[in-house]
Amino acid sequence: MRRLPPLSALRAFESAARLGSFKKAATELGVTPTAISHQIRSLEEHSGLRLFERRPRRVVLTEDGAQLLPVLERGFDSFEAIFAQLTGNERRARVSISATTAFTAKWLVPRVAGFQRDHPAIDLQLHASERPLDLAAEGIDLAVRYGDGSFAGLETEAMFDDHFVPVASPDLRITGPESLRTVPLIHFAWARAHPADPIWERWFAAAGIASTPPLSQLRFSDESHAIQAAVAGQGLALLSRHLVREDLIAGRLVQPFGPDMPGRTYHLVRDKRRPPSAAIAAVIEWLRGEAQRSRADFEADAEKARRIPNVGDMAEADWSASRH
């Protein structure tokens, strides 16, 4: 006879651990948070293990709890799969991805059709948020994060480095550095400011020219709005080449001059405590392939970008010509 804890207690633990919340587990299982707490307390007493650390407003898995969770997840997934198969009610696999609004709209969404064509049995759920979500608490499978790769508790894989370029609508007819005084500059707020952020002040320094007050400035709370404003001809913006590549190819934006500025790195991350399901593994492989394609596209564009004059050189040439 198997010596197992009550199935109801195991279900309560798996739900609370997966969702990172007794309250969310109670909603999922249709009981009260007090009932979830009692079930988990019973499981801890039965096993002699402490499975959660109770902290103000949240709970955190202990090392023992983290080892138990993936085993129970696989077990309950197997139960669900075989019953679905036997009853003819197989559930479609769903994988959630979190990223910023701009990255979701400009990089992920255009690629989704290709994934759906190759993986028709897997549904993607895209979460656009400027706030880095707690993957375990929010039930997010994968996320794209921007930075140096130091993301606590997450398994991290670099996708590609970012590069920022000054771009504008061709309707503005920007031809030289004098436009920096007559065309509005578009800014967007970085959610987590860093000294290496590619902002206009740093771009002027890299260009080797004085930062002079423009005619006006437009400031947005996120990058996607800045992209839309640039396409609409509302000013000159310093934007990610990876995110506006299709706009440059289609002629909705042009890069009138350089220099380019290096940004930081996009990383694919997931909760290291949870082994990926077959569906999640398929999405990871798809994202790796798309990231490789983005790196190749950037290299292909690099030669063309090198032929764009730097605004500092243009300003120096104009100044030298005015002396003769």
Q: What is the CATH number of the domain that holds 98?
A: 3.40.190.10
Cβ atoms within 10 A of the Cβ of 27, count?
15
**Within-domain flag for 253:** yes
CA nearest to 164, candidates 295, 255, 233? 255
Q: What is the pTM of this model?
A: 0.71
Do 98 and 192 belong to one domain?
no
Do 76 and 169 belong to one domain?
no
CA 245 centroid distance within chain:
18
| Dihedral angle sign, alpha carbons of residues 128, 129, 130, 133 | negative
Do 17 and 35 belong to one domain?
yes
The SS3 assignment for 133 reads coil
Alpha-carbon distance of 204 to 236, in angstroms, equals 13
**Within-domain flag for 185:** yes
Do 249 and 275 belong to one domain?
no
Chosen domain end from 30, 62, 87:
87
Do 175 and 255 belong to one domain?
yes
Radius of gyration of the chain (CA): 25
Do 139 and 288 belong to one domain?
yes
Question: What does DSSP say about strands 142-147 and 154-167: parallel, antiparallel, or unpaired?
Answer: unpaired
Do 168 and 255 belong to one domain?
yes
The whole-number pLDDT of residue 165 equals: 93
Do 42 and 169 belong to one domain?
no
Alpha-carbon distance of 134 to 107, in angstroms, equals 22
Q: Are 177 and 311 in contact (CB under 8 A)?
A: yes
Reading the chain (324 residues) residue by residue, the pLDDT tens digits are: 677 888 899 999 999 888 888 888 888 888 898 999 999 999 999 889 999 888 777 788 888 988 888 888 888 888 877 887 777 666 678 899 999 999 999 999 999 999 999 999 899 999 998 888 888 777 789 999 998 888 888 999 999 999 999 999 999 999 888 888 889 999 988 777 777 788 888 999 888 887 666 667 888 888 999 999 999 999 999 999 999 999 999 999 999 998 999 999 999 999 887 788 889 999 999 999 999 999 999 888 877 777 788 887 775 545 333 333
**Within-domain flag for 323:** no
The SS3 assignment for 143 reads strand
| Dihedral angle sign, alpha carbons of residues 117, 123, 129, 133 | negative
Helix 33-47 and helix 22-29, axial crossing angle in degrees, nearest 10: 110
Do 44 and 133 belong to one domain?
no
Alpha-carbon distance of 145 to 261, in angstroms, equals 19
Chosen domain end from 62, 87, 112:
87
CA nearest to 149, candidates 285, 266, 274, 284? 266
Do 138 and 284 belong to one domain?
yes
Do 252 and 175 belong to one domain?
yes
The whole-number pLDDT of residue 296 equals: 92
**Within-domain flag for 324:** no
> Can you read off the two tokens belonging to residue 173?
């007819």
> Can you read off the two tokens belonging to residue 256?
């009138």
Chosen domain end from 61, 87, 113:
87
Domain interval for residue 168: 162-263+305-317
Tell me which DSSP letter residue 170 carries: G
Phi and psi torsions of 79, nearest 5° = -55, -50
**Within-domain flag for 177:** yes
- Tally of domains in the chain: 3
Do 150 and 223 belong to one domain?
no
The whole-number pLDDT of residue 214 equals: 61
**Within-domain flag for 32:** yes
**Within-domain flag for 172:** yes
Phi and psi torsions of 195, nearest 5° = -60, -25
**Within-domain flag for 67:** yes
Q: What is the CATH number of the domain that holds 53?
A: 1.10.10.10
b/e code 128-162 from CB counts within 10 Å (16+ = b): bebebeebbebbbbbbbbbeeeebeebebeebbeb
